[in-house]
Amino acid sequence: MKLKIYPDYAQMSDAAADAIIMVVKEKSNAVICLPTGNTPTLTYELLVRKSNDLGIDFSKVILIGLDEWLGISATTVGSCNHFFNEHLIKHLNFSRKNIYLFDGLTNDPEADCHKINLFIETAGGIDLMVVGIGMNGHIGFNEPGASFDEHAHVTRLHAITIEVGQKYFNTEVKLEKGITLGLRNLLESRNVIMLANGRAKAAIIRQTLEQETSTLLPSTIMQLHDNSALYIDEEAASLLTE
């Protein structure tokens, strides 16, 4: 795992946007899996700006959404679908048929998981997976205790995730379950980038890097991947001792 520490959030985001662009430039039909959340918003703003300036073509790129809140509609502000539409999809020339986002209102989440697993396999695997990190070390909705051996699946949300998750919504919502790519998907991706910024993430970043790999702290899975990189700013790095 590579560790890249940037002076601030803007420079971390700039590097992340460049990394995504590089993958798309190298492979026009790249399969990229992206996260939502506050962390990647500037990355996406820069990705959109740079891609439009450079004329990067996303028409063949396959976009996979990392996760979604179950029970929340795609049009609800705060849903991952809404986020992807607002921050990425409407600004870049993706083809609708190449976009796979989990449906929070699906009647059959298990079937959806099966579909996405098959879709990824048929597309030849994920070239680049970008993830954030939850305050409890979760990745996507792989909460503490999640198996490293699962593909897309439904999860019961951890109390911290439910509490923190309210920040994305305008009104109080009932958050109980999520649908997410699994940690096995992460291990099988050709490249993985984890993003974290700000002082609030410093403690969990320290644990991620300095604790032994354990399913109790899903983010430690980054240590097991040969082509993984952690992009963090100095604030998120501020508690590192080694």
User: 10 Å Cβ neighbour count for 50?
Assistant: 15
Has 127 been annotated as catalytic? Answer: no
**Angle 178-87-2 (CA atoms, 0-180°, nearest 5)?**
75
Has 53 been annotated as catalytic? Answer: no
How would you list the strands of the sheet with 153-156, edge to edge? 67-69, 177-180, 153-156
Closest CB to ligand GLP among 109 and 132?
Answer: 132
Residue from 28, 29, 38, 166 that binds ligand GLP (CB under 6 A)? 38
In whole angstroms, give the CA distance from residue 90 to residue 82.
11
The answer to whether residue 39 forms part of the interface with ligand GLP (CB under 6 A) is yes
The Cα-based distances of 229 to 49, 62, 233 in angstroms read: 23, 21, 13
Has 8 been annotated as catalytic? Answer: no
Which part of the chain contacts ligand GLP (CB under 6 A), choosing from 17-25, 97-105, 130-138, 233-241?
130-138
- Give the footprint of ligand GLP on residues 61-90 (CB under 6 A): 66-67
Q: Which of 68, 127, 136, 191 is catalytic?
A: 136
In whole angstroms, give the CA distance from residue 120 to residue 52.
27
> DSSP string of 163-180?
HHHGGG-SS-----EEEE
Residue from 141, 153, 193, 221 that binds ligand GLP (CB under 6 A)? 141
Residue from 13, 43, 76, 161 that binds ligand GLP (CB under 6 A)? 161
- Give the footprint of ligand GLP on residues 168-227 (CB under 6 A): none
Residues that bind ligand GLP (CB under 6 A): 35-39, 66-67, 131-132, 134, 140-141, 161, 165
